Amino acid sequence: MAFGTGSAPLLEEHVLTEHISHSTGDDPLVTGSRVTGDDGASVRAVRSRVARHLVGRARELDLLLAAVAAGRDVLLEGPPGTSKSTLLRSITAEWGIPLVFVEGNADLTPTRLVGHHDPARVLREDYSPDNFVPGPLVEAMRSGGFLYVEEFNRAPEDTLNTLLTAMAERRIALPRVGVVEALPSFRVIASMNPYDNVGTTRLSTSVHDRLCRLAIGYQDAEAERGIVGRRTGVESPRLVADAVALTRATRERDDVRQGSSVRGAIDTALVAAQLAAMRGVPLPDEPSIAPPRGLPEDYTDVVLDALMLALSGRIFLDETLETTPEAVLREIWEDHFLLQPAAAEPG
């Protein structure tokens, strides 16, 4: 078996598949497989190719690659829009490993996760391995894929307990089907937003004990400008800088419980560019990222309209305050385009 897709170089068969030596005293079926020191060059090659898909995130990429190459399952913890899915998709694409996605919610029962027998065929044929319909867990184990459980802390406790067995033993026993052994490259990658408490469950210590945890936060302003520029194709550095600055400001206010991710900046830039084209408003070509000065009012009005559309549903306010997202966003817009430039004026 070799890993790799498309034009990406194929990895050697032993990458992600070599068991830990029995001389260590570990049972490879329990501990999983890992990449040994001899495979470091192969992992470095994957890292180099994955990095081309990302803006920043060098440390997070190193840590996630190290964990999965070492045979570990991982919990990615961070707010929305912090590149968790992008990191994982890039790694599995370059490694040529299937990525099996499942969304954690109250409907994710153990049966939905593991699989079920086709009722119509059971009536005709009785229960048999042939009429078993694999769920995402079995699919990932049989294909040696990465099972990506998004919103991990929204899944029911009994579902998580089923997943724990597969993580600990790298196999599960299915009635009337038999034992499903996971291929060596099978991993469980979970993600969760630690700031969202609605509809979530507290993870038990046994769950935390089986996962490496990687905390992923927002990137700095320069990296977010790079992301917005790459994702939108907007050629106005002024608009990109304004969209990022306004979006980042939503994360710094006391009256906003959770601000917008960089996705809000992407949408702000895209909507503003489209509005400007529709209204015949030229986009400034000013490269400065300092507080903007002397910008045309028709441009700042375009940005305000785009801001309201892109961010009003993405920010969550302190529920004890009597205000609206629109009022908060207008204040942010005024601070950015009016107050900050005035404060920066000499004298």
**What is residue 14's predicted lDDT score, i.e. its pLDDT?**
40
User: What does the domain layout of the chain look like in residue ranges?
Assistant: 22-215, 221-338
Mapped onto helix, strand or coil, the DSSP state of residue 147 is strand
**What is residue 127's predicted lDDT score, i.e. its pLDDT?**
76
CB-side neighbour CA atoms (13 Å) of 345:
9
Which CATH class for the 221-338 domain?
A: mainly alpha
**What is residue 23's predicted lDDT score, i.e. its pLDDT?**
35
**What is residue 8's predicted lDDT score, i.e. its pLDDT?**
41
Low-confidence ranges of the chain (pLDDT < 50): 1-26, 28-31, 36-38, 347
**What is residue 299's predicted lDDT score, i.e. its pLDDT?**
96
pLDDT tens figures, 34-70: 554 446 778 888 888 888 888 888 899 999 999 999 9
- In angstroms, rounded to a whole number, what is the distance separating the alpha carbons of residues 288 and 270? 20
- In angstroms, rounded to a whole number, what is the distance separating the alpha carbons of residues 141 and 31? 15
Contact 149, 104 (CB under 8 A): yes
- In angstroms, rounded to a whole number, what is the distance separating the alpha carbons of residues 57 and 284? 30
**22-215 belongs to CATH 3.40.50.300:** yes
**What is residue 1's predicted lDDT score, i.e. its pLDDT?**
37
**What is residue 194's predicted lDDT score, i.e. its pLDDT?**
79
Measure CA 122 to chain center: 39
**What is residue 32's predicted lDDT score, i.e. its pLDDT?**
53
Contact 68, 91 (CB under 8 A): yes
pTM of the model: 0.78
Q: What is the signed CA dihedral for 317, 328, 246, 260, rounded to 10 degrees?
A: 20
